Amino acid sequence: SAGPQIVVSVYGPDFFGHDVVRGYGAVHVPFTPGRHTKTIAMFVPESTSLLQKFTSWFTGRRPEFTDPKVVAQGEGREVTRVRSQGFVTISFNVV
């Protein structure tokens, strides 16, 4: 479905105090008037090899998306390994 979306990027400190991505998600903005509550399934990209996982743990640098369009479109995401990372609930008041 087409239309405007809200892309959410959540960041937080890791074990070493570095600000790292905690999750990405996207949801379409409703058009019908009224109050709408949407739950966004969040995900994070994952390293594909043990070496990458160790390096990202050791350096505190996790894989992240540089273009929010990847999150919004979902295209190409199937070739990227991602891990489910909780949910964010968002409320819209549409007039």
Domain range spanning residue 17? 5-94
Mean pLDDT of 63-77: 62
Greater model confidence, 79 or 39: 39
Distance CA 82, CA 62 (A): 12
What is the arithmetic mean of pLDDT over 9-20? 83
Indicate whether this model's pTM tops 0.75. Answer: no
Tally of domains within the chain: 1
| pLDDT recorded at residue 48 | 65
Given a cut of 60, whether residue 78 has pLDDT beyond it is: no
Tokens linked to 37 = 């509550």
The pLDDT score that the predictor gives to residue 27 is 92
Residues 40, 73, 80, 21, Cα dihedral to 10°: -50
**pLDDT tier at 79, thresholds 50, 70, 90:** very low
Taking residue 65's Cβ as centre, other Cβ atoms within 10 Å add up to 17
The pLDDT of 63-87, averaged and rounded, is: 65
